[in-house]
Structures are given as structure tokens and as C-alpha cells.
Amino acid sequence: MKIIHMSDLHLSADGALVWKEDCRRRFLTAIRQIKMMRDIDAIIVSGDVSNDGSLDSYYFADRIFAELNIPTYWCAGNHDNLNVMFTTFRPKFCYLSNQALIGGWRLYLVNSVAKDNDKPNSNRSKGIVTMNIRNELDGQLSKNPEPSIIVLHHPPLEIGGWQDNKILKERETFRELLCHHKNVKLVLSGHAHTFSVKKNENILYSTASSTGFAFSTELPKYEIKQGQEGFS
């Protein structure tokens, strides 16, 4: 099976630059590259589809992904507006469901986005998977025997750079849950805007870079690493 893992598209309604980077143009470049690839079974986008949470940005992404005609699954990131994304937006092509089956593998799309209590219109940068969501996932992983891929925006394993201050809270608890299920093989995340891959307790953890702008574990916080943007 061949999967493309994309993350952190950071699209805006009017194509406005984000951190002086043209995320819309770079997203379209990624799409052109994917058009040249063969036999892709699915595309997984691990959050931050939008930078401004606008309805237009979601419709734009949905319309562009439809051109590829490859099943495409999204989860939310901290820059996404969960209300717009899951309530107002009606995707014509992409899937926003919690679960899917692809080629005998079960995909779980887990929400790790937490509201910022001080700023009602935005989300916290750090992520959390609530106890309710953890319990639901635990039950589903026990019930469904297929090999499984877990997708969530915030990495549940350290990647070794400044980004580790911004990843999933209570991540040891989350990883412990995954370890109890031998069917969990792969965990895909974004948020760090850096490619990484690590094995922990027989589970492969990978973060995709951002299609819009990349960071590096080697560079100071929020310094952009040109040329490292892309997808896995």
C-alpha cells in the first residue's frame, strides 16, 4: 500500500502569505508532484489544512484534492477552525470521518486540538487527547483487528528539537494506550513542520514536514528552513 502523508498546508481564503511564504502556491506544487506519481492508495492530511480557519480555504483544498481523485482524509490542527471545518464546511471530496478502511488497514483520525480558554476564537498550540477520545479509541482498537494507523496533529513522541515544547500533552499516557494494542503499527502527525521517523515499542512514529513552510530541529525557534517543505 502507498500512502501520501501531507500536513500543515496553512491555506488562507485569499491566498495571503503566511510568514512571508506562499503556502497556496507550494500546496499546488505538491499537488502537481503527486499527479505524476502512480498507484497511490490514499492521502492523509494531519491537520492545519487552513491557516485562517476560513470556509473558503477548506473549499479550495477540497476542490484541489478532488483533481487527484485519490481518497483523502483530514484531521484537524490547532490552526483549523473546528466549528467551520466540521459543521459549516460540506466537503464534496475529502473525508472528515473518525475512521476509514484502506486496503485492509484501519485508519483512526484523532482530534488533539484544545480550545484556548483565554482566547475563545483560537486553539492552544499544544495538543491534548481527552480521556473520552482516548477511551473511545481504546474500545475501537480492541474491537477492530486490522493493522492500524493513528493520525493526530500533535506528535505523541518527541522529535528532538524546540518543537518538543509544543507537542502532545500527556503523551506518555497516549503512547501507553497504543502499546496495549498490537494492531497499532504507525502513528502520523504534523505540527512540527519537520520530517521525522522513529520507532518506539514496535510502533513507527512519523511527522511530515509542512507543504507551506518547514522548521528544523537544528535552527532556532520558528526560523524557516527553506527547501525542506514538502510531504512524505
Q: Which of residues 69 and 121 has its CB atom nearest to Fe ion in the complex?
A: 121
Cβ neighbors of 90 (< 8 A, separation 6 or more) are: none
Applying CB under 5 A, among 8, 62, 80, 229 the residue interacting with Fe ion is 8
Give the H/E segment covering residue 119: none
Residue with Cβ nearer Fe ion (48 or 62): 48
What is the closest distance, in whole angstroms, from the C-beta atom of residue 7 to Fe ion in the complex? 7
Residue 62 as a binder of Fe ion (CB under 5 A): the answer is no
**Shortest gap between Cβ of 165 and Fe ion (angstroms)?**
15
Binding segment (CB under 5 A) for Fe ion, from list 8-16, 18-26, 142-150, 196-204: 8-16
The CA angle 225-213-152, to the nearest 5 degrees, is: 115
Grid coordinates belonging to 58: 477548506
Instruction: Cell numbers for 50, please give them.
Output: 487552513
Nearer to Fe ion, 149 or 208 (CB): 208
Residue 2 identity:
K
Least gap, CB of 189 to Fe ion (angstroms): 11
Site string for Fe ion, 21-60 (x = CB under 5 A): ---------------------------x------------
Alpha-carbon span 161 to 75, nearest angstrom: 24
Decide if residue 80 touches Fe ion (CB under 5 A). no
Beta carbons of 35 and 47 less than 8 angstroms apart:
no
Distance CA 230, CA 130 (A): 30
Residue numbers of the site for Fe ion (CB under 5 A)?
Answer: 8, 48
